[in-house]
Amino acid sequence: MALLQISEPGKSTMPHEHRRVVGIDLGTTNSLVASVISGSPAILIQDNESNLLPSVVYYSKNTVQVGNEAKDHQSNDAENTISSVKRLIGKAIDDVNQVNFPLNLSDGDGVINIKTSDGMKNPIEVSAEILKMLRTVAENNLGGELMGAVVTVPAYFDDAQRQATKDACQLAGLNILRLINEPTAAAVAYGLDKKSMGQFVVFDLGGGTFDVSILNLSKGLFEVLATHGDANLGGDDFDQAIVNFLNNKYKLNIKDIEVQSMISILAREIKELLSNKKEVEILKEINGKEIKEIFTQQQFKALVNDLIEQTLKATKNALNDAKLSTDQIDGVIMVGGSTRMPCIQEAVGNLFKQDLLNDLNPDEVVALGAAIQANILAGNGQEDLLLLDVTPLSLGIETMGSIVERIIPRNTTLPVAMAQEFTTYKDGQTAMIIHVVQGERDLVDDCRSLAKFTLKKIPPMVAGAAKIKVTFQVDTDGLLSVSAEETSTNEKASIEVKPSYGLSEDNIKTMLQSSYDLAEEDKISRALAETKVEANQLIELTQKALDADKDLLSDSELTSIKNDLKDLINALNSSNNDKIKEATKQLNTKSEPFAAKRMDRSIQKALTGKSINKLEF
Amino acid sequence: MTQNYFELFNLPEKFQIDSLKLQKNYRTIQKEIHPDRFATSTENEKTQSMIKSTQVNDAYQTLKSPTKRAKYILSLHKSVEKITLPPDFLMQQMEWEEDLEDIKKNNKELDQFKLAINKKYEEYSLLLSTQIDDDQNWNEAGITIDKLYFVEKLLHKINIALN
C-alpha cells in the first residue's frame, strides 16, 4: 500500500501555487534581484541584459531615473545623481563625512536630506526607487505580482539602518519575509551549491560596507558563530584613498562637486584596472589641470594599507568571539566586488594560509542566497535549511554617569530576549526614560543611540519600591522591541518610543499615501481583499490544527476557539473590513495558548524521533 | 511558564552533560519552532514561535556554559545568596591578576600560564561535578562556581593578551 503523506498541523496540505518570491541584494554600488526557477537560483535579467542594476538614482523636475540611465548623468549633473545611498540610510548628518559625497546634504528630522531639483529627498525614498525598479524587473520576469521578498543587509548594520531598509521596502510596495545578513546569504548560496560542511569564514567587502562572519555549516542548519565588521568601510574608501592622493598632489578643489565627481570616477577606474594589471597609466584633464600618473599595484597597496589592516583586525576579533583559530577554518568565502583587489586576496590568503574560495561570482552570490532563503520561507522549496543568525552589536542602556550597561551581548543567537529590572528614584514617580544604545564602547556618547523609551503610568509608590521589568527583544530581522511591566502590581506600563533616527510612523504613512496611484475605491477593495485572504488562511489552519491536536484542549477552551472561529466565518460573509479584522485578531489572540501547546508537542515528537510525517501501513 | 531547561532538551539534571546531545537536541528543536518555519503562517503561530524560540535560545546558552549551567542547577534547589569567597582564594585571585599583568607581553610565558590556569579550570569543574551530581552540596557548590567563573574570565583575558 502506498505511503500516505500527512503533513504537520499548521502547515497547509492544500497544494498552493508556487509562491512568487525573490531575493534582493540592495548593494551600495549595484543591486540585484534573483529567484529560484526550476529548483535553481537565478539572477533576473534587466532590460539591457545586465545582471546588475547600478544603485544610482537621478532626479530631475518630476522625473526619476534608476540604474544605468541615472549613471549617465554623473558627469553632467552630479548634484542630482545619487549613488551609494546605502552609506546614508539610517544615519544622521553628523554620522557622515560630507567630503566623501558630492551631494548637497543637510539635516532632516531624524534623516539626512539630499537637495535635488525635484525637492528634498531622504535616503529611504531614494532606496525605495531602486527597490521599485527591482520589483518591476522581477514581476516582468516572473509573470505576475510578488508575494514577498527577502532583502539583504550588511551584518553590521545597526537597528536604525535595518529599520530604514525595511521602511524603504514598504515604500516600494514589497512584502518583506525577512531581512537577512549578506554574509549569511552568501554562505547559503555557497554552502548549498558545494554541499559544504564545517567552519567557514565569509569575508564580504562591498562598495560601502565590510562584514566578516564565521559560520558552522551542517546538514540542514547553518549557524552563525560570530560576526564583525564595519558598516562604514568598503570599496568606496579604497577609491577615496586614491582621490585624496590626487587631490593633494594636483591641488584640486575639494569643494567643487563636479570636479570631485570626476575624480571619484577616475579613482574607481584606476582601482578596477589595477585588479587585473600590475600598473596603469593615466592621462586626463580635469578642470584645466592635467593629471598624469603611472599607478602601480604596490603604490595602491601602500595607500590603502590601513584599510586592509582594519579588515584583518575585524576578522581576528570574529575568530576570537567564535573561539576558533585560523587553522580550524575549513574554507574562506570571498564576497563582494571589492574582494577582487589583489591586495585584499593576498592579505586574507596569508592570514588563513589557504586558497580562497571565490568561484561563485562575488557580485551575485548574495542575491542568489537571498532567493534560496525566500523560497524556503515561502514554503516552495524542497530545501530543508534553517539559518541561525546573531545580533552583531551589543545592546545596552544608559545608566548613571553616561555609562552603558550591556543588556544583550554581541553575537547572541537570535531571537533573544533579556529582561532588566529598574526602579524609581523619587517618591510617586510615574514615568521614566530609558535610553537604548548599540555598540561595544563603555560610554554612551561612543555608542549609537537607538531610541529613548518613555515608560508612563507607573503606579505611584515610594522611591525604590516599584519593580519595573523591561524586556528587550531582538527578532530574527535584528530589530529591537521593548515591553515593560510593573511586577509588584502587574501593570503593563505604556511605552512611547522615540527613535533617534528614521521616519516616524506618520511620516511613512504620508509617503505611502502620496506614492499610490490607485483611486480611492481601488484602495478600499484592495485592502478588503488582503483582509479576506488573511482571514481565510487563519480559518483553514485553525480547522486543521483542531483536527490534529484538539486533545490538547480542555472542553471550555475548545468551545471558546470554536466560537471565535464561527464569529470569523460570519464576519467574512459580511464583507466588512473592520469586522473581519476584529474577528481575525480575536481568534489569533485567543488561540495563542493552543499554538504554544502544539509547538511543545511537535518538539517532544521531534526529540523522541517520532515524526507524524510518516504513517506506514 | 518556562519549562525546566533539562526537561526541554531531554537531558538528565546534572552538571556533567553530554554536549553533543545538547547541541543535537537544540538544533532539532529550533528546526521545529524557529520563526523562519512560520514566515507565511498565522499571527498566533508567529508570536508563539518567537516566544518559544527565544526561550529555547536562552535555555541553550545557559546549559552550554559550565558556570551558567551550575548556577541554574543551584537555582532549582535553593534561592540565590551572596557568596563570600574564602580569603585564601581572594589572595590567589589577586596574585593571578598581578602575574598576568607582568607577563602580558611575553607569549611564551603566557602560554605556560594558560596551561596552568586551564588545569585549575579542569580541577574546579571536576569538583563541581562531585559537589552537584554526587553530593548535592549546594553551599560548597556555590563557592566553587564563583571560583570557576573567575578562572573562566582569567582565561579569556589571557587569550586576548595572546592575540
- Using the beta-carbon criterion (under 8 Å), do B33 and A602 form an inter-chain contact? yes
Mean pLDDT for all residues in chain A: 88
Q: Per-residue confidence at A135, pLDDT binned at 50, 70, 90?
A: very high
Q: Which residue has the cell 506618520?
A: A506
Q: Regarding beta strands A210-218 and A221-230, do their DSSP bridges make them parallel or antiparallel, or are they unpaired?
A: antiparallel
CB A75 within 8 A of CB A264: no
Cell numbers standing for residue B72: 541554574
Environment class of A281 (CB within 10 Å of its CB; exposed 0-12, middle 13-18, buried 19+): exposed
A residues 242-301 lying closer than 8 A (beta carbon) to B: none
pLDDT in tens, A171-194: 999 999 999 999 999 999 998 888
Looking at the partner chain, which of A221, A376, A596 has a beta carbon nearest the beta carbon of B52? A596
Residues of A in contact with B10 (CB under 8 A): 607-608
Name A432's bridge partners.
A455
Residue A78 to residue A261: CA distance in whole angstroms: 7
Burial class, B75, CB count within 10 angstroms (exposed 0-12 / middle 13-18 / buried 19+): exposed
Q: What mean pLDDT comes out for the span A309-315?
A: 96
A331-335 vs A403-408, strand pairing mode: unpaired
Asked if A386 and B34 come within 8 Å (Cβ–Cβ), the reply is yes
What does the pLDDT read at residue B80? Answer: 67
Residues with Cβ within 8 Å of residue B50, at least 6 apart in sequence? A415, A473, A475, B35
CB contact under 8 A, A416 and B58: yes
A90 vs A249: CA distance, rounded Å = 35
| Cell, residue A44 | 533576473
Using pLDDT thresholds of 50, 70 and 90, give the confidence band for residue A67.
very high
User: CA–CA distance from B7 to each of A113, A295, A452, B65, B87 (Å)?
Assistant: 54, 65, 39, 17, 38
Strand A4-5 versus strand A30-37 pairing type: unpaired
**pLDDT confidence of residue A7:** 43
Asked if B34 lies within 8 A of A607 by C-beta distance, the reply is: no
Rounded distance between C-alpha atoms, residue A336 and residue A215, angstroms:
18
Residue A422's pLDDT band, with cuts at 50, 70 and 90, is confident
- In the predicted model, is pLDDT for residue A221 greater than 50? yes
Phi, psi of A471 (to 5 degrees): -110, 125
Q: Do the beta carbons of residue A58 and residue A47 sit within 8 Å?
A: no
Q: List the catalytic residue out of A125, A129, A158, A182.
A: A182
- A39 and A380 in contact (C-beta within 8 Å)? no
Determine the Cα–Cα distance for residues A80 and A69; give it in Å rounded to an integer: 13
φ, ψ for residue A284, nearest 5 deg: -150, 145
The pLDDT of A58-65, averaged and rounded, is 92
Alpha-carbon distances of A482 from A315, A377, B58, rounded to whole Å = 32, 26, 17
Instruction: Check if the beta carbon of residue A82 is closer than 8 Å to that of residue A93.
Output: no
Residue A614: pLDDT over 60: no
Residue appearing with cell numbers 535616503: A123
Tens of pLDDT, residues A475-523? 999 999 888 877 877 767 666 667 777 777 777 777 777 666 566 777 7
Each residue of A356-397: pLDDT tens digit? 998 889 899 999 999 999 999 998 866 789 999 999 999 999
Q: How far apart are CA A274 and CA B110, in angstroms?
A: 43
Q: Does A179 touch chain B (CB under 8 A)?
A: no
Which of A310-324, A458-472, A553-567, B139-153 is the least confident region?
A458-472
* Ramachandran angles phi, psi of A152, nearest 5°: -100, 150
Q: At what angle do helices B66-77 and B107-129 cross, to 10 degrees?
A: 30
Contact (Cβ atoms closer than 8 angstroms) between residue A31 and residue A130? yes
Q: Are A484 and A459 in contact (CB under 8 A)?
A: no
Name which of A148, A387, A587 is nearest B36 (Cβ-Cβ). Answer: A387
- Whether A10 has a pLDDT exceeding 50, the answer reads no
Q: Which of A16-20, A335-339, B85-89 has the lowest mean pLDDT?
A: A16-20
Is the minimum CB–CB distance between A609 and chain B shorter than 8 Å?
no
- The set of residues, in sequence order, having a beta carbon less than 8 Å from that of A306 and lying 6+ positions away, is none
CB contact under 8 A, B50 and A589: no
Query: What ipTM describes this predicted complex?
Result: 0.88
Under 8 Å between Cβ of A357 and A331:
yes
Say which residue the cell 528614521 belongs to. Answer: A502
Across A463-470, average pLDDT: 85
Q: Which amino acid is at A175?
A: N
Neighbour order of strands in the sheet with A56-60 = A63-66, A56-60, A81-83
Helix (H) or strand (E) holding A355: none
Question: What are the pLDDT digits (tens) for A141-154?
Answer: 999 999 999 999 99
Determine the average pLDDT of the residues in A519-536: 83
- Helix, strand or coil, per DSSP, at residue A59: strand
Residue identified by cell 595602491 is A300
Structure pTM?
A: 0.88
Beta bridge partners of A64: A59
Number of H helices, E strands in chain A: 15, 32
DSSP labels for A198-248?
Answer: EEEEEEEE-SS-EEEEEEEEETTEEEEEEEEEETT-SHHHHHHHHHHHHHH
A417/B54 CB distance under 8 A = yes
Residue A289 CA: distances (Å) to CA of A251, A263, A292: 9, 12, 10
pLDDT beyond 70 at A94: yes
**What confidence score (pLDDT) does residue A226 get?**
96
Is A25 among the residues known to form the active site?
yes
Q: How many beta carbons lie within 10 A of that of residue A128, not counting itself?
A: 24
Residues A335 and A348: beta-carbon distance below 8 Å = no
Specify the residue for cell string 508537542: A601
Integer-rounded Cα radius of gyration of chain A: 26
Residues 6+ apart with CB under 8 A from A309: none
**What are the angstrom distances between the C-alpha of B52 and each of A52, A374, A375, A508?**
40, 23, 24, 31
A237, A323 Cβ separation under 8 angstroms:
no
Tell me which H or E stretch contains A595: helix A592-607
As a whole number of angstroms, the distance between CA A579 and CA A577 comes to: 6
Q: How far apart are the C-alpha atoms of A98 and A102, rounded to whole Å?
A: 8
Find chain B residues with C-beta within 8 A of A587's C-beta. 44
Give the C-alpha separation, B31 to A384, whole Å.
9
Cβ distance of A386 and B45 shorter than 8 Å: no
Residue A216 is predicted with a pLDDT of 95
Beta strands A468-474; A448-456: pairing state: unpaired
Asked if A127 and A26 touch (Cβ cutoff 8 Å), the reply is: yes
- At B27-76, the pLDDT tens digits run 999 999 999 999 989 999 999 999 999 999 999 999 999 999 999 999 99
**H or E stretch covering A112:** strand A112-116
Tell me what pLDDT residue B13 has.
Answer: 95
pLDDT band at B161 (very low <50, low <70, confident <90, very high): confident
Q: How sure is the predictor about A16, in pLDDT bands with cuts at 50, 70 and 90?
A: low
The CA-based angle A73-A79-A80, given to 5 degrees, is 60
Going by pLDDT thresholds of 50, 70 and 90, the confidence category of residue A2 is very low
Residue A182 is among the residues annotated as catalytic for this protein: yes
Interface of chain B against chain A, CB under 8 Å?
8-10, 25, 27-45, 47-54, 57-58, 60-61, 159-160, 163
The whole-number pLDDT of residue A617 equals 32
Best A151, A479, A607, A611 member to test B by mutation, with max B CBs in 10 Å, is A607
